[in-house]
Amino acid sequence: MISDLASRLREGTKKSHTVAENTAFMQCFLKGIVEKQSFRALIANLYFIYSALEVELQHHIAHPVVGMIGFPELHRQKNLEKDLVFYYGEDWRQQIVALNSTNTYVARIHEIAKTEPVLLVAHAYVRYMGDLSGGQSLRTMVRSAIQLPVDRGTALYEFDTLTTAEARKACKGKYRHALNSLPLEEDFSQRIIDEANYAFQLNHNILHELEIDLKAAIGEDVFNLIVSQHNINSTNNSNHHASVNLVAAE
């Protein structure tokens, strides 16, 4: 059994986490600049990722390791479908198209599911711990910036059975306990951490690809100003860290 895998994952992915947070796309988010077309494109691409991940988690539900971190109450596919109906309409399936970087991400999930399903632990960790943590702050930012109806547009960040901060905190505790209880040999820990770092890189690639449309939507001057201001702040503050954990946090 791996000792304290949850903490080792957190410590071992800090650098990748920060890189993913500090993409220009996410810095626009932090400045309150959330453009509806770009956000719905993000939702669409996340749909492909979560669909792949959750199909494989379900397929391996009887696996002695993967089955322990399935946590169906955290699955996002159905909630993403609600968002896609809102942003695209009932024919959303005919409208959404995956980015090249998303296709690479999805292919990786299916690849390891066939060859080494234990590594699905890394991808589940990156996605679901982020949803329970930084995703809640992102929900507030999106709702404020786009001025959404009360009950529409941010189902990605909402959990039917975890409606309070206390419930989400308790779920994160259960998830950490599950990670630390996985029946794995010690030498697997670094392989899972390496895969989690790769998951962050795959996420970063998607955000970077989405920046093209965001720049076109808000204007190149505004986009470049936000990026340049962030770069100056980062240079002047060696301890700079985004104000919200955007991808995975505990």
Task: Answer whether 205's CB lies under 8 Å from 17's CB.
Answer: no
**pLDDT score, position 228:** 78
Please, what are the domains in the chain?
Answer: 5-236 (1.20.910.10)
10 Å CB burial of residue 98 (0-12, 13-18, 19+) is middle
Instruction: Average the pLDDT over each of 123-137, 173-187, 229-243 and give the range with the smallest value.
Output: 229-243
**pLDDT score, position 106:** 98
Q: Band of the pLDDT at 221, cuts 50, 70, 90? A: confident
> For 182, phi and psi rounded to 5 degrees?
-65, 135
- The model carries a pTM of 0.89
Compute how many other C-beta atoms are within 10 angstroms of the C-beta atom of residue 16.
21
Q: Band of the pLDDT at 244, cuts 50, 70, 90? A: very low
**pLDDT score, position 236:** 46
**pLDDT score, position 118:** 97
Residue 36 has pLDDT above 50, yes or no: yes
Place of tokens 């001025």: 147
Side-chain half-sphere CA neighbours of 157 within 13 A: 20
Cα gap 38→8, rounded to integer Å: 34
Token representation of residue 222: 């505004």
Helical H segments across 31-164, by residue range: 36-59, 77-88, 92-95, 100-115, 120-132, 134-146
* pLDDT tens per residue across span 133-172: 888 888 888 888 888 888 899 999 999 899 899 999 999 9
Cα gap 130→145, rounded to integer Å: 21
Handedness of CA 12, 15, 21, 25 (dihedral sign): negative
Mean pLDDT of the chain: 87
Q: Which of the two residues, 115 and 250, has the higher pLDDT score? A: 115
